Each structure stands twice: as C-alpha cells, then as structure tokens.
Structure 1
C-alpha cells in the first residue's frame, strides 16, 4: 500500500494511504454532488415534506429532487417515513450521519469564505 506524506518543508500533519484517499474521494464526490448540500441544509432547517424541500431550493426539478432524495436515503443520510393518513404523507429527515455531514461541511464553508473560493458562476464567494 502506497503512503503519501507531506513534504519535508511543511509540518507532517497526516499520512494518507491509498484506501483513505479513495474514501476521501468518494465522500467528497457525494458531498459535492449538485443539490446534495442544499437538500441536506433544507432538512437541517426543518423542512420535512417534499413540497417544503422543493420550495426552499431554487431551480431544482421535482424529478431531480425525488431522485436525489432516493440517493441520499440509500446512502443513509436521509430518512423517509410514510405517515398513514388520507392522503398518505411522506416525511423526510436527516439521519445522524446526515447531521454529521452537515457539521463536517461547516469548516469547509469557512475555508471557502476565507480563501475567496467562488461558486459555479465565479461571481461571488460561496455562501454558508
């Protein structure tokens, strides 16, 4: 297994092996997928129903939101509960893992703000 170390001129904070690098890449791809952060944040702010989540996210289609919610549920980040009523209601929420991901992403947002990182359009720094 190959290990990558920080250069000698910089303090050696971490050594990352190939498996950890793969896990990091997979986690970053999941968290960075379009709409994932917006959906998780909407749930963290209290949205529970599909219509509430949809209303809180500009420009996402119903079809894409439904697909992303299914993916996030499969990843163990979102719960989906069927409320037996007339009509049947579906409620979404964050799992402990989903809440943990929101917490983990907060330092990244602070870093982006400090570094002047830009959003997709390259016009403004990323918002928190």
Structure 2
C-alpha cells in the first residue's frame, strides 16, 4: 500500500532530527575537552572526599592507629564502630586510613598525559588551519 509523499517526507525529517541529536550526544561524549573536564571533576571530587576523611579522622584527639598496627584487628575498623566513635560512644583507638601516594601519583601522571596530549592535538590542528 503506497504512502503519502508528505508522510514519507515527515518521517525523513524526524529521522534526521533524531540522528542529529544522537550525533551531538556522541560528539559530546568523545570530545577531548569534555573528557578532560569529566576527569578533572572526578579528581576534584576524590580529593574533596580525601580531605573530608582526613579532617574527620581525628575524633576528638584520640590516638590514631594505622591499619598495619597489631591492634587494628580489634573491631574498630567496621563502619558501625566508626559511627560509634564519631558519636562519642566509644573511647577506643581509631583506625586511620593511609593515603596511597602511589595511587595519587598514578592519577596525577594520567592527568598530565591527558593534558599534554590535548595540548599537542590543539597545536596540530592550529598548524593545519
């Protein structure tokens, strides 16, 4: 059964509009600038979390014990025990998280590589134009 040419034209226009939206979304996802921005936002979020953990790990000046210590296995490391410590219900030792500097360095070097590659790409594009 043949369709009306106007209906076919309308379907074509709708498909083109949907395709344009899809292509714009894909371009937004793979854009080096957007990838760098998202990565930077993730790093800033993780740094803020780390700062918050460092600030709140003191619990009233109680002695801090690292996870390597022999008393770290005494039950103070569970989330429920940390909530008790934060509420002041327990005066036992605090298990303090250790900053993994190797991971910080790996993330930092990754950001540096990304920054350098974006910069080189921009310079190449500027030469071509």
TM-score, length-normalised on structure 2? Answer: 0.27
Higher relative contact order (CA 8 A, sep 6+): 2
| Larger strand fraction of residues | 1
Give 1 or 2 for the bigger CA radius of gyration: 2
| Larger helix fraction of residues | 2
